[in-house]
A and B are shown apart, each in its own frame.
Chain A
Amino acid sequence: MNILYDERLDGELPANDKQQVLERLQHALPSLTLLHREEDLRPFECDGLSAYRVLPMLVALPDTLEQVEQLMRTCHDMGVPVVTRGAGTGLSGGALPLEQGVLLVMSRFKQILEVDPDARVARVQPGVRNLAISEAAAPYGLYYAPDPSSQIACSIGGNVAENAGGVHCLKYGLTVHNVLKIEVITIEGERMTIGSDAFDSPGFDLLALFTGSEGMLGVVTEVTVKLLPQPENAKVLMASFDDVEKAGKAVGDIIAAGIIPGGLEMMDKLAIKAAEDFVHAGYPMEAEAILLCELDGVEADVDDDCDTVRGVLEGAGAIDISLARDDAERARFWAGRKNAFPAVGRMAPDYYCMDGTIPRRELPRVLKGIAALSEESGLPVANVFHAGDGNMHPLVLFDTNKPGELELAEEVGGKILELCVEAGGSITGEHGVGREKINQMCTQFQPDEITVFHAVKAAFDERRLLNPGKNIPTLQRCAEFGAMHVHNNELPHPDLPRF
């Protein structure tokens, strides 16, 4: 099943004449940058999920909020769908354009409006890069905690839309825990403040609802984030294991010892090799798995915790434990992990990154299942894992130029996600559903639950003009997907092994 918008399964889209839309927008917004020629549209045809590309009807690059407001009003009037895009690093096709829609690009809103060190907040425009916030806060000894590996490129607006996480979110939380207030513009062109500079606001928690809503409910036009004091001290332990299962168990043991590490990441043999070849992080090539455990806080506590964790790791059967000697080595240990995706990307022409989450105790079983899927399909799978919070990133390696391999990779990916759901987990921990996992939503949710999601959507965008086809599948799609796929434990091929 192709993931490009399919009117039969995703609902009819209004048919608009490109020339007419262009003229109307040019007339209503003479100062707005509007791209319409094919060569100008080309750079926007995909986001980080580059296997799928669609040329948008038009691309709008506003500089002011008035333009966004007017654009939304005009599109709403004409019934033209709008897809919002931040930096385009999303991995689930959330910003994949629509042929019949306008792509609203927020990248020109790049200003850091305010850093208030005493209140420990920063107010920024949505196109500001994640890392730029921490850089602006650094002179005050503060930083913005959620640190997706894409932080040098991704925008805070996109982070809010995806509820982005990072390697430090077990201890410091996801985007939803670190945002105080957002300004939004609805599809009707209405401005709204959600949340406040205080810790809470009256009424429904619309801030939680908007965070992670993938551009389906409104356009985020400003974000106020919390800043935290930089930890006084951070140490990283790297432990090698001769067995992935032992590493998985060690993760639980650390937490059972009452310790919440700042970061707790795991990589398997293939990922270790890729990272080592790419950034020379000093990873042990002979290990089946490594764990990176960062402990941060006040120096004396960090030292105590390091001793405890070392003991736990030894008890769990680590074959080698090394402590980063200084900040440079600590940065190097992390560089391997943070560059794992591009590193794996060098091992094959293409890779497909999955994002399932599971209860940690299920790790050994799910890893075995993934290994079996890899063997059965012949496609190598490297595993990178936010181990502390059960978020897996299996990377399926393939070559688009080999006929059928993309489809095979997607099939393997889909099965991995079903494995996660079956283990009590979720199809996505941080990358979002977007277009990519639209079918797997039917595995995770029943039709009645999906109906409630549609009700929420209708409260903000009754005519389905904002990012149609993303995030929540139609019931028709689920009916079709269910009919041809594993669902409700009725297997199309009961003879195939399952895990």
Chain B
Amino acid sequence: MARQHQDMAEALCERVRQADHDKTPLKIVGGDTKAFYGRRVEGDILSTRDHHGISHYDPVELIISVRAGTLISELEAALDAEGQRLPFEPPHFGESATVGGMIATGLSGPRRPWAGSVRDFVLGSRIITHEGKHLRFGGEVMKNVAGYDLSRLMAGAQGTLGLLTEVSLKVLPKPTATHSLRLAMPLASALESLAEWGRQPLPITAAAYHDGALHLRLEGGPSSVAATRERLGGDVLDDEFWTQLREHQLPFFADTDERPLWRLSLPNNTPALELETRSDTDVLYDWGGAQRWVRTSIDGRSLRDAVATAGGHATCYTPGASDPFMPLAPSVAKYHRRLKATLDPNGIFNPGRLYAEV
């Protein structure tokens, strides 16, 4: 049931001001569904849950503004009632997942290569700075290039630069037709077909390779979905597959597997890496091959070297990893430290969550 709207901004500002004054770190928590994603943070828990509610939704403008503590499920239900949705299909990883965590982790689902990522749909935000000031960047308009894009910078920054209290998102109408299908074929043919289809205006909005078959989702107008369905053939696939993939509910992701779970993010059209052929390694392809889920006993360092050589990066999804995110190039790391130092000089916002130094 939707909770009452609640604006706790004043109290949150006071909390942050105090923490900054005392130089005591804060561990920002929404629904606590994505704690595994990142390094452990030591700090006083600051919950965003009580700052919740949809503050403004205008379906005709394609814009919604939501407070950070709002459940993703509440947001999605409100959009659904108007025939709209979040095109980036965010994973929830639990019923209590909030909008704040969705933006802070910046995770997107199977539709991402075709529709865009979380940050692509961020239009504006409200942020509490280390001084406890509640500021507004961007806004409720589609286009806005005044000042630096702090709202998009917040997406994926894991709460290390400020406390996100509200976000304005672009939303889109749901397509009128959807069809999912399964085509049994070897991996190499699947990748080849995807490269070829990628150059054609086909209504593909998800592509995963798993268990010897390419899984595809088509979305768009009824005519184009029907025509593509006819052209590609295959077996009908339950659309639920994509939710299970997004939420890591397929057997591949089962906790019973002792090997760590890695996420590989690779350039489009990267062939199978050599490590994928190892007997101790299993791979599930998403994003048409640009995102690969890997279960392996190979050590993290070798894995990352191989992925870096291919132009990508690897994230460890198994809770408790000491370095879940790929180390940054020295020059890039330097500017991360400087940004952290100018925006959070006392290091109160989720210190160390992303990297030890930020």
Contacts and interface: CB of A to CB of B under 8 A. Distances in A.
A174, A230, A301, most chain B CB atoms within 10 A = A301
B173 A198 contact: no
Given A204-B336, A300-B227, A359-B141, A198 B312 contact: yes
B142 A391 contact: yes
A158 interface: no
A258 B83 contact: yes
Given A120-B268, A391-B143, A452-B129, A208 B331 contact: no
B148 A174 contact: no
Given A173-B120, A260-B173, A426-B146, A361 B223 contact: no
B173 A206 contact: no
B221 A304 contact: yes
A297 B224 contact: yes
A390 B139 CA distance: 12
Which of B129, B146, B195, B198 has the largest count of A CB atoms less than 10 A from its CB?
B146
Given A119-B267, A197-B311, A232-B201, A298 B141 contact: no
A126 to B, nearest CB: 18
B331 A192 contact: yes
B184 interface: no
A425 B149 contact: no
Contacts of A444: 146-147
A205 B152 contact: yes
Interface stretch (B17-25, B92-100, B337-345): B337-345
A193 interface: yes
Interface stretch (A63-71, A73-81, A312-320, A429-437): A429-437
B119 interface: yes
A252 B59 CA distance: 10
A40 interface: no
Contact of B149 (A211, A448, A449): A211
Interface string B117-156: 1011000000001010101110111111111111011011
Contact of B313 (A140, A201, A209, A449): A201
Interface stretch (B41-49, B208-216, B243-251, B321-329): B321-329
B123 to A, nearest CB: 10
A400 interface: no
Contact of A209 (B116, B148, B311): B148
Contacts of B173: 255, 258-260
Contacts of B61: 252, 359-361, 390
Given A209-B149, A258-B176, A460-B335, A304 B144 contact: no
A163 B145 contact: yes
Interface size bracket, B side:
35 or more
B112 A199 contact: yes
A216 B148 CA distance: 10
B227 A198 contact: no
A203 interface: yes
Contact of B201 (A120, A209, A229, A259): A229
Contacts of B188: none
B172 A260 contact: yes
A357 B268 contact: no
Contacts of A304: 221-223
A453 B117 contact: no
Interface in B94-119: 106, 112-113, 116-117, 119
B144 A357 contact: yes
B267 A357 contact: no
B55 interface: no
Contacts of A360: 60-61
Contacts of B136: 449
Given A206-B332, A448-B135, A255 B119 contact: no
B124 to A, nearest CB: 9
A141 B141 contact: no
Interface of B: 58-63, 83, 106, 112-113, 116-117, 119-120, 129, 131, 133, 135-137, 139-150, 152-153, 155-157, 161, 172-174, 176, 195, 198-203, 220-224, 227, 265-269, 287, 290-291, 311-313, 315, 325-329, 331-333, 335-336, 338-339, 341-343, 354-355
20 contacts: A142-B199, A162-B145, A173-B120, A176-B152, A194-B332, A196-B312, A202-B325, A204-B354, A206-B332, A208-B152, A255-B60, A258-B176, A297-B221, A300-B223, A390-B61, A425-B141, A426-B141, A428-B144, A429-B143, A441-B147
Given A121-B267, A229-B202, A429-B144, 12 more contacts: A199-B287, A203-B328, A206-B153, A208-B149, A209-B150, A258-B174, A298-B221, A432-B145, A441-B146, A452-B137, A452-B343, A453-B148
Interface of A: 116-121, 140-142, 162-163, 165, 169-170, 173-174, 176-177, 186, 190-194, 196-206, 208-209, 211-213, 216, 229-232, 252, 255-256, 258-260, 297-298, 300-301, 303-305, 357-361, 386, 388-391, 424-433, 437, 441, 444-446, 448-450, 452-453, 455-460, 471-472
Nearest 4 Cβ contacts at the A-B interface: A300-B223, A301-B221, A208-B152, A429-B143
